[in-house]
Amino acid sequence: MGNFYNSYSNFLREKFHKDVYKISLTSNATCPNRDGTLGTGGCIYCSASGSGKVYVKPVYDQVKDFLQSQNNVNRGYIAYFQSFSNMFKNRDEIIKDMKRISEFEPIVGFSIATRPDALDNDIMDYLNSIKDRYLIQIELGLETANNITLEKINRKIKAEQYLTAVKQIRERITDCHIVCHVILGLLDENMDDFENTLEIFLRSKSDGIKFHHLFVQKETRLSELFNQGRVRVMDEYEYIDKVLMLLEMIPPSIVIHRMKSSMVPKDLIAPL
């Protein structure tokens, strides 16, 4: 395998017998924690772009432009709806986008990021209808199993809702690769919290996990707390140490989608 863990790249290569990459897409999606359904401020670490790029072009044009820039015809690509909660009040648009994107031959899968409390049955039914032709992934943000932390970060959700969401997906899509998004280093959390979060993930029987270290972006509520000295972020060595300990607890069947997050340097405050 080349790694002591089951990497996402290895998982894709074994499935498709060629290199497969994601195309990160930004749609007109929003979030129930932004539009007033649950709140208006969003999570304290989330910027105006919702962990993706600022919306510029229609999704179809984003895919077309990206594919035209690529020279390797032997690669496959997964259309990754990344920013915000893509199943929230986005039903007609995202289904239309997926149908249009399907005309591009290099597209081998669809990955949709959303909140556990923002699943849409019609979108899941559509995904179930195309599962025999495409890899279907749904990425859910657990972030932490500590409900006190979830309150502190203004998440407006309970950890137990992650388990409910996974069950809903399994009932609606018979072959779906479910990915759990976890943030290490949230406010006042320690290794016990990280292990408890991993326990919820393992109990859910999700297929893969993304590790994300807490970083501080400009123009977020988290940046205000950081500048006031109320937030500490792990340095590189501390973070690596924690991730390695968690990896030892993960069965080899679990796909490790990401070990750390990346950030545009100009928007980053910490860690540097």
Mean pLDDT of 55-68: 91
pLDDT band at residue 148 under the 50/70/90 scheme: very high
Q: Residue 185: give the domain boundaries.
A: 6-270
Per-residue model confidence as pLDDT tens digits over 160-211: 999 999 999 999 999 999 999 999 999 999 999 999 999 999 999 999 999 9
Is 15 domain-assigned? Answer: yes
Position 1 scores a pLDDT of: 41
Sign of the C-alpha dihedral, residues 149, 151, 156, 158?
A: positive
Write down the mean pLDDT value for the chain: 92
CATH of the domain at 110: 3.20.20.70
Is 100 domain-assigned? Answer: yes
Task: Give, in order, the Cα–Cα distances in Å from 212 to each of 58, 133, 239, 257.
Answer: 28, 30, 10, 10
In this model, does residue 239 exceed pLDDT 90?
Answer: yes
Position 73 scores a pLDDT of: 78
In this model, does residue 231 exceed pLDDT 70?
Answer: yes
Give buried/exposed letters for 12-24 (b at 16+ CB in 10 A, else e): beeeeeeebbbbb
Pull the structure tokens for residue 228.
């006031």
Task: Give, in order, the Cα–Cα distances in Å from 191 to each of 32, 185, 248.
Answer: 30, 9, 14
Q: Please give the tally of structural domains in the chain.
A: 1
Is 160 domain-assigned? Answer: yes
Q: How far is CA 139 from the centre of its chain?
A: 5
Q: Where are the beta strands (DSSP E) in the chain?
A: 6-7, 20-25, 76-81, 107-114, 135-143, 177-184, 208-213, 216-217, 255-258, 268-270
Mean pLDDT of 66-95: 90
Is 180 domain-assigned? Answer: yes
Pull the structure tokens for residue 97.
């986008």
Is 1 domain-assigned? Answer: no
Q: Long-range CB contacts (< 8 A, 24+ apart) of 60-66? A: 60/97, 60/100, 60/101, 62/23, 62/25, 62/26, 63/23, 63/25, 63/101, 63/104, 63/107, 64/104, 66/23
Is 12 domain-assigned? Answer: yes
